[in-house]
A and B are shown apart, each in its own frame.
Chain A
Amino acid sequence: MARATGWRRTVVTSLVAAGALAVGAAVSLIVGPYAIEPRTLLDTLSGARPDTMESQVIFTIRMPRLVAACISGWALAIAGLVFQALLRNPLASEYTLGVSSGAALGAVAATLLGLGAPLATPAFAFAGAVATIALVLLLARARLAFETNAAIMIGVIFTALANAALSLILSIVSPYQLQAFFFWFMGSFAEAEWRTLVPAAVAIAVLSGIIYAFSWNLNAIAVDEQFAAQIGVNVEVVKTVLLIAASFLTAIVVSLAGTVGFVGLVVPHMARLAIGVDHRALIPVTALFGAALCVAADVLARTMLAPNELPVGVVTAFIGVPVFVALMRRPRA
């Protein structure tokens, strides 16, 4: 029976993704300028070596960074999946729709205005993200028919504009501020701190739960909006809630780590290829894939040119683009 096969596939895929995430997490805690032996890592994690240099490195530097990569990948992948399903367009994502850039502009605005309070950056990023998606969809809708390709084109153009604005800001700020602004541009998990990670993780968990509750309806909307309305789905309400939730997820990640591109674009394709199109299974599997990808990308960003560190957005682009091209050459996933 197809459903049983589908379940087996979903469970096996989830286990493989969780395994990859666990391996990536272990590597991420071990490697770095201060190398830590696997044995020492296990002892430290079990609490057997408190107040050592190793426990300092693991719990205050590497663990927050690992958690940031993990929840960012999780959130971006779900956001990308939601945008693709709502727009019925495999090219949609928070990155191609300009939502990430809108959030980054919002975050930069908060910094420029000197609003350093912990809530100001995510609040401005969220405002930037929601304003962008609303603008992109309104402009696309202005063509009367709701054209999803038009939304992508407008999103890409908006991203170019936002990047130009960010470049302009980069060229006029003081060298001292340059590093901080560069962070919004290409993404990094290096700045992660527990005091921002904990509320971010809670918010991402709540938003993921809300999105999952709508995954039944997302299946119908991913077929066709009229079709969804016909089988009893309140399309406008579901779309509004999900667009806001996906924008919020993006804003949280941008506040934590800047713009990390291609995760939301590529990961949903990989997950669909592995388990099919049922969003009730796709949401958790996509989230696990996204977390594993970001953790792996962060390890590469830290180690490839060590002691120099690459922005993680550079690594996700280098991984994402070839994977995306390869996936797009396959039959429809």
Chain B
Amino acid sequence: MIELRDVEVKYGGSSVVEGVSFHVEPGAFVGLVGANGSGKTSLLKVIARMLVPAVGKVLIADREIETYGRRELARLIAGVWPRTPLSFGFTVRQLVLLGRTPHLAPMRWETKVDQEIAFEAMQETQIAHLAERPASQLSAGELQRVFIATALAQQSPILLLDEPTSFLDLRQAARLSSLIERLHRRGVTILCATHDLALLRRHASSVVLLADHRVAAAGDTAGVLVPEALQRAFGITPEEWYD
């Protein structure tokens, strides 16, 4: 479903990641783990075509990513990203309906079907009761579910998640974790960059671990998330880890 071949991403001449290759099967839940600045977000952006790699290839559904139109790609890949705070009083319903954008013909308003799809996405994420509330008044956890609902309304088979549980308290993180699990069981392909190793241990089928600008380990979750590999990626000893 997603394939990276020897990808290098540069910012201002210096490499953030280089020689990265991995493959995400359809329906898989893959975790992307690494220290801050290890290039997790950059790789997600490359897959969403928000960044162009300096070297290497990205294939989505066996086609090179540059061959897709923007709207066509948005019908294949949805994402939930860290955001700037909302400046205006968009309601939850308005935000979720925006997920229908890649399915609308230019200058066409949403149809009844689009409204229904958005409503289902809000039900799935348990925010239907908040539909008319300004999103700026919601808690971090509720807002995260709103943007997942937007991604669901996009009806894309691939979902990219960038730190979905950061800034959430335990209860909100647990609710989000079970929501992600439900989506995975429905067949959505998920690539999730996170420091939340508990989330990955519970749900991810495999993990890609980044260290020193490269893939340090990749494969089965339990096999990758071992103390030695984490020590290499994060630079702390298992003792410090468990302290």
Contact of B50 among A219, A226, A272 (CB under 8 A): A226
Residue-wise, chain B 72-114 has the 8 Å CB interface mask toward A (1 for contact) of 1111011101011011111101110011011010110100000
Smallest beta-carbon distance B50→chain A, Å: 5
Tell me the complex Cα distance, A219–B109, Å: 13
Is the beta-carbon distance between A232 and B71 smaller than 8 angstroms? Answer: yes
Residues in A201-225 with C-beta less than 8 Å from chain B: 213, 216, 219-220, 222-224
CA distance in complex: A233, B77 (Å)? 13
Residues of A within 8 A of B79 (CB): 230
CB <8 Å contact, A88 and B87: yes
- Known A216-B107, A230-B48, A276-B94; 5 more pairs at CB < 8 Å: A220-B98, A223-B98, A277-B90, A332-B89, A333-B88
Known contacts A230-B74, A231-B101: A278-B94 contact under CB 8 Å: yes
Shortest distance from the beta carbon of B238 to any chain A beta carbon, whole Å:
36
Q: Within the assembled complex, what's the spacing in Å between the Cα atoms of A293 and B132?
A: 30
Q: B11 to nearest A CB, angstroms?
A: 10
B134 interfacial by beta-carbon distance below 8 Å: yes
Against B, the Cβ 8 Å flags (1 = close, 0 = not) of A239-280 are 000000000000000000000000000000000100011101
CB<8 Å pairs between A and B, sample of 13: A2-B132, A216-B104, A220-B98, A220-B101, A223-B83, A226-B83, A229-B48, A229-B70, A231-B101, A231-B150, A232-B75, A232-B101, A332-B136
A3 contacts partner chain B, Cβ-Cβ < 8 Å: yes
Q: Which of A61-98 contact B (CB under 8 A)?
A: 85, 88-90
CA distance A224 to B101 in the complex (A): 14
Residues of B close to A226: CB separation below 8 A = 50, 81, 83
On chain A, the residues within 8 Å of B98 by CB distance are: 219-220, 223, 227, 231
- Chain A residues in contact with chain B, CB under 8 A? 2-3, 85, 88-90, 213, 216, 219-220, 222-224, 226-227, 229-234, 272, 276-278, 280, 332-333
Minimal Cβ-Cβ distance residue in B for A85: B88
- Give the Cβ gap from A265 to chain B, nearest Cβ, in Å: 15
B16 interface hit (Cβ, 8 Å): no
Closest 5 pairs (CB-CB, A-B): A232-B74, A232-B71, A232-B102, A88-B87, A231-B101
From the candidates A227, A231, A332, name the one contacting B88 in the complex (CB within 8 A). Answer: A332
A222-B90 Cα distance, complex, nearest whole Å: 9
Residue B172 lies at the interface, judged by CB distance under 8 Å to chain A: no
Tell which of B88, B104, B132 touches A222, judged by Cβ atoms closer than 8 Å.
B88
User: B115 contacts the other chain (Cβ, under 8 Å)?
Assistant: yes
Cα A90 to Cα B88 in complex, Å, equals 8
CB-contact partner of A233 in B70, B88, B150, under 8 A:
B70
**B 4-34 to A, binary, CB cutoff 8 A, 1 in contact else 0:** 0000000000000000000000000000000
**Complex Cα spacing A233 to B74, Å:** 9
Contacts of A90 in B (CB 8 A): 87-88
Quote the shortest CB–CB distance from B112 to chain A (angstroms): 10
Instruction: Find out whether the CB atom of B102 lies under 8 angstroms from the CB atom of A3.
Output: no
Which of B74, B88, B132 is in CB contact (< 8 Å) with A272?
Answer: B88
Given contacts A90-B88, A332-B136, contact A2 B81 (CB under 8 A): no
Asked if A232 and B73 sit within 8 Å, CB to CB, the answer is yes
Q: A227-B81, A231-B99 are in contact. Are A333 and B91 (CB under 8 A)?
A: no
Min CB gap A144→B, angstroms: 10
Residues of A contacting B94 in the complex (Cβ-Cβ under 8 angstroms): 219, 276-278
**CB neighbours of B206 from chain A (8 A):** none
In the bound complex, do residue A223 and residue B102 qualify as a contact, i.e. CB atoms below 8 Å apart? no
Give Cα A182–Cα B72 distance, bound, in whole angstroms.
Answer: 53
Question: A83 CB to closest chain B CB, in angstroms?
Answer: 12
